[in-house]
Amino acid sequence: MLDGEPNSDWWRGAVIYQVYPRSFLDTDGDGIGDLPGITRQVPYIASLGVDAVWLCPVFLSPQRDFGYDIADHTAIDPRFGTLEDFDILVARLHAHGLRLLIDLVWAHTSDAHPWFRDSRAGREGPLSDWYVWADPRPDGTPPNNWLSVFGGSAWTWEPRRRQYYLHHFLPSQPALNLRNPAVVEAQASVARFWLDRGVDGFRLDAMDFLLHDPALRDNPAAIRPEGAPLPAKLFGMQEHPYDMMHPDGAAVMREVRRIVDAYPGACILGEFSSQPGAFARVAAATAGVDRLHMGYTLGPLRGGYDWTSVRALLEEVALHADDGWYCWSFSNHDVERAASRWGPYAERAGHPTGPEGPARARQLLALLMTLRGSVSLYQGEELGLPEADLGFEDLHDPFGIAYWPEFRGRDGSRTPMPWRADAPHAGFTTIAPPGRPWLPVPAAHAALAVDVQETHPGSMLDYTRALLRWRRREPCLRHGSFRVLDLPAPVIGFERAHDGQALIALFNLSGETVPVRSPALLERLPPSMSAGGAVVLPPHGSIFGMALWTDVAPAVPAPADPAAALMRADGDPA
C-alpha cells in the first residue's frame, strides 16, 4: 500500500492506465512483453499524470485466452517473469506514487488448473462440485441451449464424469461453481495473497457471468427484425436472462468487498457486459458500502459516435449519475481501438504528431476525461494509435480466428507499444530480424512512437498529458455532478458542478464549423468564449469553460477570472 491516506477515496475520479503485459515492452528478446519491461517504463507511465495501473493477467496460464485462462492464481507465468519481478514492479510503482490493480478472474479457470483436474476426475471427490456440472438430456445433448460467447454450445462433454461442464467462453475455461462456499473461500485466499504482496485492488473480470439460473432453464430466442441477416456470432441470437446477470451475483460482490475492506485504500473495479441495462447494473453494483467501488461496461465501446448515439449515452449516464460510480473506458484489449472504431479510415491513418493531428482523436480523449466518474486509459491511447490492420496469418486470438473475416478479433488492439520509431520493431523487443514479436508492429504505429511524440509540442502524447494535468487540478472534473445540456445536433454538451463552481463542456461531433447560439448557454459563459452572439466550435472541436454562475450555493469564492480554466477552441489547454 502507498503511505499517506490509505482510507481515502483515491479512486474517485482517478485515471487508471491499462497495461497489456504481452505487448508493453520485451526485455529478454523472446518477442513477448514482460514484468521487467513494465518496471523499466514506470517513469513514462508516471509522466502521463495517471493515478494507477491496471495490469492484465500475468498468472501461470496455457495462454489459450492469453492469461484469462488461469492455471495457478498465485504463480507468475515464466513468459512474464517471476514473483520477485512482480514485487519489484509493485515497489517501483509505489515509489512513483502509482497504485496497482491486477486482474482477478473469479468466474472461471483454465482446464489445466489443479482444481479442474480434480473436479473432472469423478463425482465423489473433495472438489467434485467446484465447477458447474450437469447431466445430459436423455438424447445425449447438452443440458440446455446456452451458447458460448466465443461460439457454439456453452457445454462440453467430460467422459470421466459422464457429465457436461459449463464454459461461457472457450471450452478450456470451465465455469466455477460460486454457489459453493469452498470455492468462494479459495478465491478469497487468492485475493489476500496478492493484497499481502502490496497490490492496491483488483479489476474483476466478467462480472455478469458470476452466477446463473440454478434450474438451467433455456434462454429465449432474441427478437430479430423480419428479413434481418443472421448475426455472425451465435451468442447474439439469444436473450440472456438465465445464463448470466443472475441477481445472486450480488452476494459474491459483497464477499469480495468484505475481503478488500480489510486492506485500507484497496478498491475493486468490475467489468460488466454490454447487455441491455448495463448502466443500471453498474450503478446497482457500485452503490453502497458493501458492493464494488466502481465498474465499467463495454456498452460505450460497442456503440457509434454519431450525435444520436452519444446524446443517448449521455442521457443514460445522467439518469444514473447519482447512483454508484462509473469508470469510463473507450479502448481496451477486447475491442477495436476507439481512434479507428469511431473514425473513418482516412482520418485514423493520419499521424497525430503535430498541431494538425486528427481532431476526432483529441475530442475522444477530451470527452473521456470530462465525463463523470473514473477513467481507464488503454496503453497506446495516449499516442492516438489506430487499430492495427492484421492479416489472417498474423492472428493469435481464437475469437478472431473462428470468426474471420466477419469479425477480425482482438489482436488488432493488442499489438506492441511503439517506443522508438527508428528501432527494429519500434523498440518493443530486442529480437533481431528475421525473428518477430508475438504480433507485428505496424509501420503506422512506428510513426507514432513515444520518442517521436516526445519531441513534438502539440502531439497527441503532449495533449494527453495536458488534459490529465487539467483534470487533476479541476475538482469539477474529478468529483462534480453531471447534467446534460439541451443542444441541437451536431453539438453535445454537459455541465459538471462541484462546491459552487460549474464547468461547461461542448463538443462538435461534425466535420464542419458549427456556431452555437443558445441564449441560455451564452449567458452562463464568459464573453471570451463567444463572438457575434455564438460559441463557434471548429470541426470535431471541444471547448470548456467555467460558468459565470451556478444554481449551487457557492461554497468557495468564484475565481477572479472565470475563463481561467478555459480550453482553447483548438482543443489545447489554456
Cell of 533: 452572439
Q: Which helix (H) or strand (E) holds 506?
A: strand 501-508
Residue of 214, 238, 223, 208 whose CA lies nearest to 146? 238
* Active-site residue list: 205, 271
Q: Report the distance separating Cα 286 and Cα 554, nearest Å.
A: 29
Ramachandran assignment for 241, one of left (phi > 0), alpha (psi -120 to 50 degrees), beta (any other): alpha
Roughly what angle, to the nearest 10 degrees, separates helices 307-319 and 278-285?
30
How far apart (Å, rounded) are the C-alpha atoms in residues 273 and 388? Answer: 24
Inter-residue contact 390 to 440 (CB < 8 Å): yes
**Lookup: cell for 415:** 499489438
SS3 157: strand
Rounded CA separation 174/107 (Å) = 9
Largest CA distance in the chain: 80
Strands, DSSP E only, in 429-490? 481-484
Residues near 385 by beta carbon (within 8 Å), at least 6 away in sequence: 337, 339, 418, 445, 448
